[in-house]
Amino acid sequence: MKAIVKRKSGPPDVLELREVEKPVPGDREVLIKVRAATVTQGDVVLRRLPFLVWIPMRIMLGLRRKKIPGTELAGDVEAVGRAVTRFSPGDQVFGTTDGAGAGSYAEYVCLAEDAALAPMPSSVGYEQAAAVPVGGTTALHFLRSGNIQAGQKVLIYGASGSVGTYAVQLARHFGAKVTGVCSTRNVELVKSLGAGTVVDYTQEDFAEQGKLYDLVFDAVGKTSAAKAEKALAPGGAFVTVQKGLARVNRDDLLLLKELVEVGEIRPVIDRRYPLAQAAEAHEYVEKGHKAGNVVIVVEPDRGV
Same domain, 99 and 39: yes
Are 226 and 111 contained in the same domain? no
Q: List the end-to-end C-alpha distance of the chain, in Å, as a whole number.
A: 25
Among the listed residues 103, 227, 231, 244, the one whose alpha carbon sits nearest the alpha carbon of residue 163 = 244
Residue 304 lies in a domain: no
Query: Strand 92-96 to strand 117-119: parallel, antiparallel, or no bridges (unpaired)?
Result: antiparallel
pLDDT digits (tens, 9 = 90+) for 61-90: 445 558 999 999 999 999 999 999 999 999
pLDDT band of 57, cuts 50, 70, 90: very low
At 214-265, the pLDDT tens digits run 999 999 999 999 999 999 999 999 999 998 778 899 999 999 999 999 999 9
Q: Which residue has the higher pLDDT, 191 or 288?
A: 191
The verdict on 8 and 127 lying in the same domain is yes
122-168, pLDDT tens digit by residue?
Answer: 999 999 999 999 999 999 999 999 999 999 999 999 999 999 999 99
Q: Rounded CA gap, 165 and 170, in Å?
A: 9
| The pLDDT of residue 61 | 46
Q: Are residues 82 and 102 in the same domain?
A: yes
**Please, what is the average pLDDT of the chain?**
93
Same structural domain, 128 and 272 = yes
One domain, residues 187 and 149: yes
Same domain? 15 vs 112: yes
Whether 52 shows a pLDDT value over 80: the answer reads no
The CATH number linked to 235 is: 3.40.50.720
Helices 41-48 + 278-286 axis angle, to 10: 100
Quick one: 60 and 179 in the same domain? Answer: no
Which domain range does residue 31 map to? 2-132+267-297
Kindly tell me the sign of the dihedral angle through the C-alpha atoms of 102, 269, 19, 279.
negative
When pLDDT is cut at 50, 70 and 90, the band that residue 49 belongs to is: confident
Q: Is 303 exposed, middle or buried (0-12, 13-18, 19+ CB in 10 A)?
A: exposed
pLDDT of residue 63: 53
Tell me, yes or no, whether 28 lies in a domain: yes
- Please enumerate in sequence order all residues whose Cβ is within 8 A of that of 302, keeping only pairs 6 or more positions apart, or say none: none
Number of domains in the chain: 2
272 with 234, same domain: the answer is no
Q: Does residue 7 lie within any of the structural domains?
A: yes
Q: Does pLDDT of 53 surpass 60?
A: no
- Tell me how far CA of residue 127 lies from CA of 6, 8, 18, 79, 172, in angstroms: 23, 28, 22, 21, 24
| Under 8 Å between Cβ of 236 and 259 | no
Distance, CA of 73 to CA of 117 (rounded, Å): 9
Predicted confidence at residue 65, as pLDDT, reads 59
Residue 83: give its domain's CATH number.
Answer: 3.90.180.10
The answer to whether residue 257 is domain-embedded is no
> Does 260 reside within a domain?
no
Classify 89 as helix, strand or coil: coil
The answer on 117 and 15 residing in a single domain is: yes
